[in-house]
Structure 1
Amino acid sequence: MLKKVSLLAAGLLATAIAWAAPTVEMTTNLGKFTLELFPDKAPKTVEMFLYNAKHGFYEATIFHRVIDGFMIQGGGFNSSMEEKKTLTPALQNEAATGGPNLRGTVAMARTRDPHSARVQFFINLKDNSFLNFRASNVDNFGYTVFGKVTQGMEVVDKIAKVPTGNAGYYENVPTTPVVIQDVKIISEK
C-alpha cells in the first residue's frame, strides 16, 4: 500500500511541476527579483519574453524610466541610452486577456500603437487600472500584463527610489544606471 501511495504522490508532483508557470530570475546591479509569467493569459508575449531571455537580449540593458509611485521600465536601452536592436517583431496586444495592471505585475511597454510592443517592459509599483484594456480602440486598448513579481519586490521598490533626471529627450532616467545584468530562466513550464 505504501508503494502505491508513493507512486501516486510522485505522479501528482510531476503533474504539478508540468503545469507550473514559467519563472525567470532578473539580476540587476541593485539586487535580484523573480517573475512568474502568465502563458495562459498572454501566450505570445510570454513566448517573446522567454525567447529574448534565452538569447541574452536583456543583458546589459537598463531600467531607463523610473517613476516612483507609478512604474519602472526597462529592457530596451543600454547604459549610454542607445536603443538596442530588437530580435523579434512587434506583438499583437494581448491586454484583453492578460489581466489587470496591479502592483507587482509586469507588462509590455509600447507606443501609442497598441500593437507595437517589442522588448521593453514595466513593473507596476501600484495598481494602475487606467492601463487596463477597456475597449478595442487605440485610446483604451491597454497594456499587456504577462507576469508578476513573486520574490524580491523590495528590490523593485529600491529601484523606484533611485534619483532620476533627463537624458537628451528622455525624462525620469536614473542618474546612475540600473543595469539588468542577467535574466535567467528558472523554469519554462
Structure 2
Amino acid sequence: MFAGLNGRLLKKIGVIALIAGAWPAFGQLTPDRLYYGVNRSMPMTVAVPATVSSEPTEVRIDLFDPRNELGEAEATAPVLAGPVDLSTLFPVLWKGPSPKLRYAQLVVGGTQVGPPVVLQPMSSSPTAVLVKPQTREVYFNDPEKDAPNFKPGDGMLLWITEPPSYSGIRAYVDKQVRIETSLGEIEFRLLPQHAPNTAFNFRQLAEGGFYTETIVHRVVNKLPTSGQPFVIQFGDPTGTGAGGPGYSIDLEASQLPHDFGVLSMARESDPNTNGSQVFIALSREGTASLDGKYTTFAEAVSGAETILAIAKVPVQNQRPNNPPTILQAVLVDAPPYGKRPARVQRPAATPGAR
C-alpha cells in the first residue's frame, strides 16, 4: 500500500544521492542516542545501501514483537534515507496498552538490511527476594554473626511487584557476542526479550574488554548424582569464583529454559547478586532445575564443538587442571531480524561412548 508513496519518496532519494556524489555502501537504521525519554521524539538515521538500479526501491521500517512466534511485523512505515523520528512513525511506542520490548528492522526492496535496533522499555520490573516460608523472613547475611540468617536451601523465591512506571526506551543496534577461547570460538545471540538488563549488562562488559584474558574457572561435565551434563562457568577476573565487576544487578524473571548452549548468570545465594560471572548450560536434563532461579539471557548460535571441548577438560573439584582461557569477547553485528540463527544443538551421543 506504500508503493506509490515510496516511489515518489525514493526518486527524491536518488536526486539527493546524486548531489551528494554516491549512495551509502551499506544499509542500517541507527539510533541517534541510547536513551529516549517517554513521550519524546526518537531521532534515528536511515542509511540505504548502494544500488545500481534506476528504479525506485521501497524503503520501510518494520516493527517486530519477538514474542510473536509467527514472526510477522506488528507495524510498518515507509521512510526516506536520512533522519527519521521513530515515535512519529510508530505512535504505539508511547501510546500502546503496555510497554514491551520490540525490534525495528530496516527493509529495502523487500529485503531486511542490517542488524535491527533493539527498543527496550525502561519500565519497572518485579524484584526477587529469598524468604523463609515458615517465618516470612527475608534472606540476608547477618554482619554480627558473619553468616546468613537462614540456609538458602530452606528459602523460596518470591517476586515483589511495585506500581508500574515507564520512563522511556533504551535503543541500540543489535549485536551478538563472540567469545574467543583457547579451544575455539562460541558466538551468542542475546535475547533481551527474556532479560533486558542482563543482556545489556553482558554486552557492555564484553565491549569494554572485561572478559579479556580471563579463564574458565569451573567445569561440571557430569553431575555426581545423575551423571547429566551440567555447566561450564567463567567471567571472574580473579579466576577464583569470587570476583566480579564491582556491582550487582537484580535477578530477572526470564522465561528462557536452560538447555545446551544457553547462557545464564551465576550468582551468590542472594538472588540479586548477579554481576559478570556466567555459565553455559551443557544439557536440558542437567540444568532444568535452575529455571526461574538463575537469569538466562542468551544462546549459542555457533561453537557447539568448543563448548564440548571445554566441558571435557580434566578437572579437580570442578576446577580445570589447565583452565581454558577467554582470549577476548567482542561484539559483532547481528543478522537482520528475519535471518536470526537457531541455537546450537548438543550432538547425539555415540552408541557405546562414555
Structure 1 length normalisation: TM-score? 0.81
RMSD: 2.4
The Cα of 1:85 is off from its aligned counterpart by 5.1
**Runs of at least 5 residues in structure 1 that lack an aligned partner in the other structure:** 134-141, 166-170
Aligned position for 1:180: 326
Aligned position for 1:10: 108
Aligned position for 1:70: 230
Deviations, residues 29-71 of structure 1 (Å, cap 9, x unaligned): 1111100011121111011111111111101111111011111
Structure 2 length normalisation: TM-score? 0.45
Aligned position for 1:45: 198
Q: C-alpha separation between the residues in 2 aligned to 1:90 and 1:82?
A: 15
Partner AA of 2:299 in structure 1:
K
Aligned position for 1:118: 275
Alignment of 1:54-65 (within 5 A): 54-65=207-218
Give 4+ residue runs of structure 1 displaced > 6 Å after superposition: none
The Cα of 1:13 is off from its aligned counterpart by 1.4
Deviations, residues 143-176 of structure 1 (Å, cap 9, x unaligned): 10010010011100100000001xxxxx311100
The Cα of 1:98 is off from its aligned counterpart by 4.4
Larger mean Cα displacement after TM superposition, 1-10 or 36-45? 1-10
Higher relative contact order (CA 8 A, sep 6+): 1
**Runs of at least 5 residues in structure 2 that lack an aligned partner in the other structure:** 1-6, 8-52, 61-106, 119-173, 222-228, 336-354
User: 2:283 matched to 1:132?
Assistant: no
Residues 1:188 and 1:13: Cα distance change in structure 2 (over 3 Å): closer
Partner AA of 1:66 in structure 2:
V
Residue-pair matches, total: 172
User: 2:263 matched to 1:106?
Assistant: yes
| Greater Rg over alpha carbons, structure | 2
Q: C-alpha separation between the residues in 1 aligned to 2:115 and 2:241?
A: 40
Residues 1:98 and 1:19: Cα distance change in structure 2 (over 3 Å): farther
Partner AA of 1:74 in structure 2:
F
Larger helix proportion of the pair: 1
Q: Tell me if structure 2 keeps the 8 A contact 1:77–1:83.
A: no
Residues 1:85 and 1:91: Cα distance change in structure 2 (over 3 Å): closer
Residues 1:30 and 1:107: Cα distance change in structure 2 (over 3 Å): same
Q: Tell me if structure 1 keeps the 8 A contact 2:237–2:244.
A: no
Q: C-alpha separation between the residues in 2 aligned to 1:132 and 1:106?
A: 12
Q: What fraction of aligned residue pairs are identical, expressed as a percent?
A: 30
